[in-house]
Structure 1
Amino acid sequence: MSDIKFISNRILIIGLILFQSICLAQENSLKINIDAAEELGKMKPIWAWWGYDEPNYTYMKDGKKLLSEIAALSPVPVFVRAHSLLVTGEGTHGLKWGSTNAYTEDENGNPIYDWTIVDKIFDTYIERGMKPFAQIGFMPEALSAKPDPYRHYWKPGAKYEDIYTGWAYPPKDYEKWAELVYQWVTHCVERYGKEEVESWYWELWNEPNIGYWQGTTEEYIKLYDYSADAVKRALPTAKMGGPETTGPRWDVAEEFLRTFLNHVKSGKNYVTGKIGSPLDFITFHAKGSPKVVDGVVQMNMGAQLSDISKGFEIVASYPEFKDLPIIIGESDPEGCAACSEADYPHNAYRNGTMYASYTAASFSRKYELADYYGVNLLGAVTWGFEFENQPWYAGFRDMATNGVDKPVLNVFRMFGMMDGQRIKVNQENLSYNFIKVRDESVRGENPDINAIASKSENSISIMVWNYHDDNNLDVPSSLVNVIIDNIPSEKVLVNHYRVDQELSNSYTLWKKMGSPQNPTKSQIESLENAGQLHLYASPEWKQINYGKTNIEIDLPRQAISLIKLDW
């Protein structure tokens, strides 16, 4: 009898210790409270926008494969923006270069239009249910005011200014330029149908406040008037916008953007002579600024968010434009996708999970900044595609390498499972909110552990990240307790997806293989599988009591979890 009593006491003591341990763990865990009843607005797919410099990669082997994967991860049509769609050349490609030969002239100066390559690019999008974010540019050789030299042969390590050759100059004949634009839009309507082309977005040029435009601000405005008029003559219901300036936090970019908006609002139109110009949406860019500090890459998300914040502030200051859609035409951790890690060590973040966690955290703040300024954010273009026939994991800003997906693409797969309405994430007890990240970036002792959540008719999706600007992975993981209230079901199926150093991560596996530059067919198959989005644990049914539940996550640094509750 005494033995039974002794065993019972032992069990009681062990139970108390376990209970105290659980309570202590919960006490020390970071709590993220989510209220499914408090809706903040539509979970717009602002992430479903991509772009790249090299248009001819579009229809190449790995380009087609990646476009198919991007299209498959999104529940809505993805918009794609590419440079150089009017550049002269026989479809040649290279880093930061592309060509279509859409416009040439005969010996008498008569236009010759050839849409073969442009059609091949747009057909590749349309076949996948994607849509062109059609960039009108750059200047054909026959129209350039300064055509020689025309083609550049830039490579990483060379001066960036070397790319600004004859394609970057104003036209020597604005009427011929306008006719080119008119013929292009008319051709697209004939080929794809009026209803399809009405759903696209047309824009003029890229970053005209820096070397991409070798004319003056006024010459760009003149070109815009001619281009917009031509687009609207070809298709009056087409959507036309601009000006795709660099980050508005810089004085020169802010001045250019305001000068453009002032002209559109009240300036004399160069074509019609009337006041104002057509403007259906507004575009500008936003970039971060990483650097190497004590041998470690240090990101600067605050710089990118400051660009976005300033751009929103500028648009909101114009009552005429405040409700127009805003598209952040390039929205990235820094400014050169084709600059490799070998030549630019601060780009070492690109292959692993740092790019992934940065993407999760920064996109969430874009929603919050749009709410803060009361503007209509439609999309944010990720300027990162793929680079054909380059070394494996060369450190370009891309979504895949040699057809194998990088960890960052899996964050977009997570976003693709979030729809309906954004719901409230209580940030009172968290180290960072969107204002603090904008103003200070993430440089303190604590990481940015936060979440974005959405609710549709039969599901709740919660993305949680553990991000820091310093790419230091040798730190303990964090215990996160996600508490969800007002769940409208008594039972839910929980799926937990993860991107971390081991899961949904082809780069880690490639390094374990010995970083092969000529992987075998079997290795490539393993890498392709590792590059897909994976579950962290088996799906499980969970009973909901009084509309509330909690889910504990052990979240490593630079890792991302997606918790999906379905009923």
Structure 2
Amino acid sequence: MQQKSTPGLKALLFSGWIISLVVPGTMLAQTDPPKPLTIEVDLKQDQGPLKPIWAWFGYDEPNYTYMKDGKKLLTEISQLSRVPVNVRAHSLLVTGDGTAALKWGSTNAYTEDKQGNPVYDWTVVDKIFDTYIERGMKPIAQIGFMPEALSTNPQPYRHHWKPGDNYNDIYLGWAYPPKDYTKWSELVFQWVKHSVARYGRKEVESWYWELWNEPNISYWKGTTEEYIKLYDYTADAVKRALPTAKMGGPEVTGPGSEGSQTFFRAFMDHVVNGKNYVTGKTGSPIDFITFHAKGAPKLVRAASGEGHVQMNMGTQLRDIDKGFELVASYPTLKNLPIIIGESDPEGCAACSEDMSPQNAYRNGTMYSSYTAASFARKYDLAQARGVNLAGAVTWAFEFEDQAWFRGFRDLATNGVDKPVLNVFRMFGMMTGNRVGVKGGLAYDYARIRDQSVRAEADINALATKDAKTAAVMVWHYHDDNLPAPDAPVSVRIAGVPVQRVLIQHYRIDKQFSNSYEVWKKMGSPRTPTSEQITELEKAGQLKLLTSPEWVTVKDGTVMLNMELPRQGVSLLKLSWE
């Protein structure tokens, strides 16, 4: 969250009340005027295709998918990308009536009659997947969690968690292994078979099928070996129903920790060399590999109790790097696609700002600038490790019928887009191959991985070029959410192949592409009027900083100058005929 501040003063809004925080003197150095910086982009320095790793999204609550604001947001997400967007959701096999709640969802896909015979009902699952398919999206079909009738410890089954409760309260009967692996396998087989019948073989071949979520923590109440056994039964069922289906795992979280690495290696060792629980043969089918990586924001306080939000991008990048390193250590697996199944600034989308003040970055431009800077470094880390990064899932969606700008990690609030969604609109305009970026840049991926962004600001760029366009995304990011002067930035673009180009300059900052700042100027209304909602919806769209302009190219070069605010992001789009 960002508020207008005077030097040395920081105001944070927590659920309608104000705390004024005096910034420690050690932080005032950030108000020193930044030195002018020139970023040099070379369109002739081709670095290969820029994979749309950003076109991947996910969320805990599957039943939000087909609700009013869920459908609206999914439509907007699908429209910002030239390629199909992949969507991952939890709880697709959970028993229940389909009522949506925080950290909860259900489909009632599997129950049993009085004789213990399986009863399959795909009504809610189809409703979810139909919503994706209608928008040209691709499901990441998460096989889980355990239906009540199959759970080895079914009661209690449903939780009623809310922000402020103990997070461990959510892990109930749905998190346990099956009491009958054969029945579980048949459930998976019937789901895949049904999907092929409903959507067609070619469509389902384009999906990703995966088992469970974060089985190295309490999402899985079984042992590591029981997860491996479940994977064998699951993969066998998927492949029996559709031999060409893509099957993967294990979706472990925090590869930087010793416990996660132990689980990850046990799984990888098994799929390569282990005895398959179903076939008795060596190894298990695997077509892609998944893990999670999160950052670690905190509220930094002075001795007096005063403080501010401080992000930690380095924590997230270290987890990503360790995950890549682990995959790369298996010669037969290192070229498989990697999906970072959840890739975010921290670990609880449903933990609101009013209960967790370190999450006060989510409504404003700190979230959007973090996203721009971190995604660029994911490309760099994958290249450095020589692995095949296919996607990085942003675990953020929307929370239906919640308070406006409550501070969830979401892309929109009550149907109004937040600034972070506009970064993905920018990514959607970046096509073709990545090209070279250099200059007097303070950070590369290795320095942020090792140190995060705690000294000077991270002012850098990501650039692309195709046959008739080029795009340069520029950000001005810092881990510490403190006031700072705008940065004078010049972007020198060389290798432009024509004499004149049309330049469009898009911006995300306090004044542009920012519904949150507009809402605050309205007085932070709890129930905006219809006219205010219309204004907020317009403010949430990606905006041009200036009018489009035709510029003459001199010696193949264009020079563009800007003042870029702290936590601001610009996209320079060049087009020619």
Give the TM-score range, shorter chain: over 0.9
Counterpart of 2:308? 296
Residue 452 of structure 2, aligned match among 421, 434, 441: 441
The letter of the residue matching 1:541 is W
Cα shift readout 1:207-240 (whole Å, capped 9, x = no counterpart): 0000000000000000000000000000000000
For residue 552 of structure 1, the aligned residue among 556, 561, 568 is: 561
Aligned pairs for 1:56-205 within 5 A:
56-205=63-212
Cα RMSD of the aligned pairs, angstroms, is 0.8
Amino acid at match of 1:366: K
The residue type equivalent to 1:215 in the other structure is: G
Alignment partner of 2:384 out of 339, 351, 372: 372
Aligned to 1:323: 335
Report the count of equivalent residues: 538
Shift of 1:385: 0.2
SS at match of 2:360: helix
Aligned equivalent of 1:537 = 546
**Higher relative helix content:** 1
> How far 1:173 moved relative to its partner?
0.2
- Rg larger for: 1
Q: Distance in 2 between matches of 1:292 and 1:505?
A: 24
> C-alpha distance in 2, partners of 1:416/1:324?
25
1:178-198: CA deviations, max 9, x gaps?
Answer: 000000000000000000000
Alignment correspondent of 1:8: none
AA aligned to 1:376 is: N
Distance 1:374 1:289 in 2: 26
> In 2, Cα distance between the equivalents of 1:274 and 1:500?
57
Greater shift, 249-258 or 271-280, is seen at: 249-258
Give the secondary-structure state (helix, strand or coil) at the position aligned to 2:550.
Answer: strand
Kept in 1: contact 2:35–2:487 (CA 8 A): no
Say yes or no: does 1:410 pair with 2:419.
no
In 2, the alpha carbon distance for the partners of 1:552 and 1:29 equals 10
User: In structure 2, what is the Cα distance between the partners aligned to 1:486 and 1:390?
Assistant: 49
TM, length-normalised to structure 2: 0.93
Q: CA deviation at 1:489?
A: 1.1
Q: Secondary structure at the match of 1:133?
A: strand
- Which residue is 1:11 aligned to? none
Equivalent in the alignment of 2:30: none
Which amino acid is the alignment partner of residue 451 of structure 1? A
Provide the residue aligned with 1:528 in structure 2: 537
* Residue of structure 2 aligned with 1:465, choices 462, 468, 475: 475
- 1:93 Cα deviation after fit: 1.5
User: Which residue number in structure 2 is paired with residue 383 of structure 1?
Assistant: 395
2:191 partner letter:
W
**Mapped partners of 1:228, 1:475: distance in 2:** 52
Match of 1:508 in 2: 517
Shift of 1:419: 0.9
The equivalent position to 1:236 in structure 2, one of 224, 238, 243, is 243
> Structure 2 CA distance, aligned partners of 1:272 and 1:56?
36
Q: How far 1:39 moved relative to its partner?
A: 1.0
**1:521-552: CA deviations, max 9, x gaps?**
00000000000000000110011111112101
Deviation (angstroms), 1:92: 1.5
Pair 1:447–1:179, CA change in 2 (3 A): same
Note the C-alpha offset of 1:487: 0.9
Q: Secondary structure at the match of 2:78?
A: helix
SS at match of 1:349: coil
2:499 to 490, 495, 499: 490
Does residue 346 of structure 1 match 2:358?
Answer: yes
Deviations 1:330-356 (CA, angstroms, capped at 9, x unpaired)? 000000000000000000000000000
Query: 424, 435, 441: which is aligned to 1:430?
Result: 441
Q: AA paired with 1:396?
A: F
Aligned-pair CA distance for 1:394: 0.4
Moved beyond 6 Å, runs of 4+: none
Kept in 1, the 8 Å contact 2:270–2:283? The answer is yes
**Match status 1:222 vs 2:222:** no
Q: Secondary structure in 1 aligned to 2:64?
A: helix
Deviations 1:47-89 (A, max 9, x none): 0000000000000000000000000000000000000000000
Partners of 1:29 and 1:527 in 2: CA distance? 34
AA matched with 1:386 = E
Q: Write the distance in 1 (CA, Å) between the matches of 2:187 and 2:397.
A: 28
SS in 2 for 1:135: strand
What letter is aligned with 2:533?
I
Question: Which amino acid in the other structure matches residue 539 of structure 1?
Answer: P
1:545 maps to a residue whose letter is K
Report the alpha carbon displacement of residue 565 of structure 1 after superposing the two structures with TM.
0.6
Once the 2 structures are TM-superposed, how far is the Cα of residue 463 of structure 1 from its aligned partner? 0.1
Match of 1:256 among 257, 263, 280: 263
The superposition leaves residues 397-437 of structure 1 with CA deviations (integer Å, 9 ceiling, x where unpaired) of 0000000000000000000000100001115x211111000
Aligned to 2:407: 395
Q: In 2, Cα distance between the equivalents of 1:28 and 1:307?
A: 32
What is the Cα deviation at residue 28 of structure 1? 4.8
Q: What amino acid is the match of 1:462?
A: V
Aligned-residue offset at 1:40: 1.0
Residue 224 of structure 1 aligns with an amino acid whose one-letter code is Y
TM norm structure 1: 0.94
Q: Deviations over 1:321-376 (max 9, x none)?
A: 11100000000000000000000000000000000000000000000111111110
Work out the CA distance in 2 between the residues paired with 1:47 and 1:163: 29
Measured in 2, the distance between the counterparts of 1:139 and 1:373 equals 36
Q: Tell me the distance in 1 between the aligned counterparts of 2:143 and 2:46.
A: 38
1:510 counterpart letter in structure 2: W
Among 456, 460, 466, which residue is 2:466 paired with? 456
Q: Is the 8 A contact 2:417 2:540 kept in 1?
A: yes
CA contact (8 A) 2:365 2:567 kept: yes
**1:143 aligned counterpart, secondary structure:** coil
